[in-house]
């Protein structure tokens, strides 16, 4: 009689599970794209000559980062200060729009675009969560029809100050930023896609994590933070 009662309980359990809202979170650079987008954007926005002159200033900070005397977050702050100090906010937004239109096909992974569309069509809450500046990625999020969480550039009187507000949106900061927008993440069925160390905490928090899901070849499973356990049948 006990075993006979179990099938009757299963639909009730499934119905309860279906009431949980799905939150689908995609990293951007290297996950939805073939590679980093911020450096190519800066090169596009400033032109090769200006870009090269400013990039020279990044040599010593980059060497310090390789020697672990500067963190990746600190290096990112130096990069933003070097390129985006006293830059007109509207100019940057216009360049971001142009960059999105011109580089969409070259930059975006078709399988990633399909996955985003699937999540949107399933009525999930879908967002990008990226360390790249939100101001640069906004046209991409708009075209995808999803929300965006990214590193926030400081603007005063219509000019970028070369600083960021808060912290670089990577690692544990991704969880904090998601919670600031969506509240307690445990109230969602969290699905997440990432490809780098900056996504580990996000993937750990997800019930349905995807590591380099749209990659091919050997890099697909390299350094995966997702531990797969196989249950042995008794």
Tokens, residue 232:
């042995």
50 pLDDT more than 50: yes
**Which domains does the chain show, CATH number per domain?**
17-215 (3.40.50.1000)
**pLDDT the model gives residue 224:** 79
Predicted confidence (pLDDT) per residue in 115-146, tens digit: 999 999 999 999 999 999 999 999 999 999 99
Q: How far apart are CA 53 and CA 230, in angstroms?
A: 53
Query: Can you give the pLDDT at residue 18?
Result: 61
- pTM of the full predicted structure? 0.87
Does position 12 have pLDDT exceeding 50, yes or no?
no
Give the three-state DSSP class for 18: helix
Q: Express as a percent the part of the chain with pLDDT over 70.
A: 87
Which of the 8 DSSP states describes residue 67? T
Facing residues of 191 across strands?
A: 24, 208
Q: How deeply is 137 buried, as exposed, middle or buried, from its count of CB atoms within 10 A (0-12, 13-18, 19+)? A: buried
Average pLDDT value for the chain: 90
Query: Cα 127–201–129 angle (5° rounding)?
Result: 20
pLDDT value for 219: 67
- Calculate mean pLDDT across residues 66-93: 95
The pLDDT value recorded for residue 227 is 67
Separation CA 25–CA 147 (nearest Å) = 10
Q: Distance of CA 217 to CAs 134, 213, 222, Å?
A: 30, 11, 10
């Amino acid at each position: 009689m006990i075993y006979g009662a179990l099938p009757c309980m299963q639909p009730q359990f499934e119905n309860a599970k279906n009431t949980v809202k799905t939150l689908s979170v995609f990293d951007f650079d290297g996950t939805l794209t073939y590679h980093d987008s911020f450096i190519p954007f800066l090169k596009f926005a400033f032109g090769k000559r200006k870009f090269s002159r400013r990039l020279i200033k990044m040599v010593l900070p980059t060497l310090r980062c390789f020697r672990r005397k500067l963190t990746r977050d600190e290096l990112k702050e130096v990069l933003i200060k070097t390129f985006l100090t006293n830059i007109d906010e509207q100019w940057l937004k216009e360049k971001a729009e142009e960059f999105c239109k011109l580089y969409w096909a070259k930059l975006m992974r078709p399988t990633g675009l399909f996955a985003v569309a699937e999540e949107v069509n399933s009525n999930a809450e879908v967002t990008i969560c990226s360390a790249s500046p939100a101001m640069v990625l906004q046209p991409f999020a708009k075209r995808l029809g999803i929300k965006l969480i990214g590193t926030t550039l400081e603007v005063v009187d219509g000019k970028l100050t070369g600083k960021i507000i808060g912290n670089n949106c990577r690692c544990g900061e991704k969880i904090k930023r998601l919670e600031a927008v969506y509240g307690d993440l445990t109230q969602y069925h969290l699905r997440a896609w990432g490809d780098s160390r900056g996504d580990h905490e996000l993937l750990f928090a997800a019930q349905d994590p995807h590591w380099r899901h749209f990659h091919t070849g050997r890099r697909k499973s390299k350094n995966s933070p997702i531990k797969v356990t196989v249950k042995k049948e008794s």
